[in-house]
Chains A and B, each alone.
Chain A
Amino acid sequence: MKGLLPDLDLVRKDFPILERTFDGGETPLVYLDSANTSQKPQIVIDTMVDHLERHNANIARAMHHLGAEATEAFEGARDIVARFLGAPERDEVIFTKNASEGLNLVANTVPLAAGEVVVTTEMEHHSNIVPWQIATQRTGATLKWFGLTDDGQLDLSNIDELITPATKIVALTWVSNMLGTVNPVAEIARKAHEVSALVVIDASQAAPVLPINLSAMPEEERPDFLVFTGHKVVGPTGIGVLWGRRAALEALPPFLGGGEMIATVTMEKSTYAPIPHKFEAGTPPIAEAVGLGAALEYLMHVGMENIHAHEQAITAYALERLASVPGVTVLGPADAAQRGGAISFELDGVHPHDVAQVLDSKGVAIRAGHHCAKPAHQRFGVQASNRMSSYLYTTPAEIDALVEGLEYVRSFFKLDQ
């Protein structure tokens, strides 16, 4: 199969959990839930253990060997993130807890007022909806939405009504976690920048599979803010990234106050540290940041271009195989070249919970439900769906196992009788 990682067997060996079996060794794990969270390679696990075993100390304030080592490891991770994103400056990389926190940080600090407009889309994860609902309710600004076309693309036909001089923020996902759609973020950013709106990109599903190079983007097309979450890029939970254009970050007031984010504190007032520390109050998740650094090094070592090609090959194969199962309807674009690695589908006559439960008895792990994208489900008139999602360690044989599993679901629920 063209596009698969040539060393797929070796890649799989890097992920110890893929050896897991159930039922006393009878049932191997088929992990197709990577859009939910990815599995972790040994190098990430080892790097975190090594940090905790040998270099652990608080950062930035400990005047000893270990403090210096921990600080170097933490700031080294920031350098790696900057390289991974092609960020113009490493100090533009802010560590957060996850993507949700990055989005909340921006939504909480960006100035908004009555009469101003925030635009988002119907395909967002709740993490890129709820913070904007809260922010617009708090400030009296208005929240507007890009709708979706029947084939799961953004409907840009009314873009001139949505993006106007009143528009201050355009917040959208690069790749949909439900529909798999890859959105035209460059085109939308260009449009938003014409009216001086800030562009916030949720790259939670894009960072795992698309090569990103912020510096190489023309400035008009480059977002002002971009977030992603560590646990979906083979890194640990508890760590995420907010990247922001220096001037855009500097224009924001601090989000959380506390240690590490100040220049000086008196009882009357405080002055704040420069970015990135201004937005990193308190002791950060240090070992997690170090783990994220190792994860991104790993992905860059395999090569983001190669990972992207692998995803597209697996996705194309999965779309083709799923089409062979009676009663399966795939939501979102039909063309693998226009999608990320998440494929949501319905199986006529069986609720997604029941599909997932029966697949689980065969070791096949998928997600069932609304995938934190209720408005998108509503748009397509579905209450819940099944979602399979692949990653760099997914094999065509695992897609076959899913399809066999779905045939078993059909027989279990006697759909042909």
Chain B
Amino acid sequence: MTAANLEAMYQEIILDHYKNPHGKGLRDPFEAEVHHVNPTCGDEITLRVHVAGDKIEDISYDALGCSISQASASVLNDLVVGKTVDEAMVIHEEFLRLMQGKGQVEPDEDVLEDGIAFAGVAKFPARIKCALLSWMAWKDATAKTLAEEK
């Protein structure tokens, strides 16, 4: 990978989120807690969701991993807390579309905000899982929360 690609991947926004992650730490109350691992590299996240009615009141997490996986958990927290589950799923879909787009997808900044900084990561197949780790954990936890309610 070239120096230009490297800069594209490690956007300032990503490094900022890495150094000062938003919403990190495990908190109460929560309805579901999940633990996800990236088996190839061992990155790990424990993530809790607190949903009241259909609103996501909190996402709290404890994560070990690279700058990409850590920054992505921080961005997830920014984007999704305060939204309804349906709104959050739309954001999740857009993030997934960006990450699976092999670097060819033009992300919707209105939906993804800081999340668009991950466009450079999408070009590196080995790192896509890092970016998606927290999002997959959140989706899993949310599904568990909804299943409990029923």
Asked if B82 lies at the interface with its beta carbon under 8 angstroms from chain A, I say no
Question: Cβ of B41 and Cβ of A353 under 8 Å apart?
Answer: yes
| Contact partners of B44 in chain A: CB under 8 A | 383
CB neighbors of A among B101-147 (8 A): 124, 127, 130
The CA-CA distance from A22 to B1 in the complex, in Å, is 8
Residue in chain B with minimal CB distance to A383: B64
The CA-CA distance from A352 to B42 in the complex, in Å, is 11
The stretch of B2-10, B25-33, B83-91 that contacts the partner chain: B2-10
Asked if A351 lies at the interface with its beta carbon under 8 angstroms from chain B, I say yes
Asked if A384 lies at the interface with its beta carbon under 8 angstroms from chain B, I say yes
| Contact partners of A368 in chain B: CB under 8 A | 41
Question: Cβ of A361 and Cβ of B42 under 8 Å apart?
Answer: no
Asked if A369 lies at the interface with its beta carbon under 8 angstroms from chain B, I say yes
* Contact residue among A352, A357, A370, A383 (Cβ-Cβ distance under 8 Å from B6): A357
| Contact partners of B6 in chain A: CB under 8 A | 357-358, 361, 412
Question: Cβ of B127 and Cβ of A353 under 8 Å apart?
Answer: yes
Asked if B68 lies at the interface with its beta carbon under 8 angstroms from chain A, I say yes
The CA-CA distance from A358 to B15 in the complex, in Å, is 14
Residue of B2, B42, B68 with most partner-chain A CB within 10 A: B42
Residue in chain A with minimal CB distance to B64: A383
Task: Report A344 CB to chain B, min CB distance, Å.
Answer: 13
Asked if A354 lies at the interface with its beta carbon under 8 angstroms from chain B, I say yes
Task: Report B140 CB to chain A, min CB distance, Å.
Answer: 21
Q: Chain B, 38-70, contact with A by CB distance < 8 Å: what is the 0/1 string?
A: 001111100000000000000000001111101
Residue in chain B with minimal CB distance to A371: B42
CB neighbors of B among A338-387 (8 A): 350-354, 357-358, 360-361, 368-370, 374, 377, 383-384
Asked if A23 lies at the interface with its beta carbon under 8 angstroms from chain B, I say yes
Question: Cβ of A369 and Cβ of B42 under 8 Å apart?
Answer: yes
* Contact residue among B3, B15, B65, B127 (Cβ-Cβ distance under 8 Å from A413): B15
Task: Report A272 CB to chain B, min CB distance, Å.
Answer: 37
Task: Report the number of A-B residue pairs with Cβ-Cβ less than 8 Å.
Answer: 55
Task: Report A61 CB to chain B, min CB distance, Å.
Answer: 41
Question: Cβ of B42 and Cβ of A377 under 8 Å apart?
Answer: yes
Question: Cβ of B42 and Cβ of A357 under 8 Å apart?
Answer: no
| Contact partners of B65 in chain A: CB under 8 A | 351, 353, 383
* Contact residue among A23, A350, A370 (Cβ-Cβ distance under 8 Å from B41): A370
The CA-CA distance from A351 to B43 in the complex, in Å, is 10
Task: Report A291 CB to chain B, min CB distance, Å.
Answer: 27
Task: Report B11 CB to chain A, min CB distance, Å.
Answer: 13
| Contact partners of A374 in chain B: CB under 8 A | 42
| Contact partners of B10 in chain A: CB under 8 A | 354, 358, 412
Residue in chain A with minimal CB distance to B67: A354
Taking A374-B42, A377-B42, A384-B41 as contacts, is the C-beta distance between A353 and B66 under 8 angstroms? yes
Residue in chain B with minimal CB distance to A414: B15
* Contact residue among B2, B15, B42, B70 (Cβ-Cβ distance under 8 Å from A383): B42
| Contact partners of A377 in chain B: CB under 8 A | 42
Question: Cβ of B9 and Cβ of A369 under 8 Å apart?
Answer: no
| Contact partners of B5 in chain A: CB under 8 A | 361
Question: Cβ of B66 and Cβ of A354 under 8 Å apart?
Answer: yes
| Contact partners of B67 in chain A: CB under 8 A | 350-351, 353-354, 413
Taking A369-B40, A370-B41, A383-B42 as contacts, is the C-beta distance between A361 and B66 under 8 angstroms? no
CB neighbors of A among B3-24 (8 A): 3, 5-6, 9-10, 15
Give the interface of A toward B (CB within 8 A).
22-23, 350-354, 357-358, 360-361, 368-370, 374, 377, 383-384, 412-413
5 extra A-B contacts, CB within 8 A, seeds A351-B70, A353-B41, A361-B3: A351-B67, A352-B66, A353-B67, A361-B6, A384-B42
Closest 7 CB pairs of A and B: A353-B66, A351-B66, A369-B41, A370-B42, A361-B6, A383-B64, A361-B1
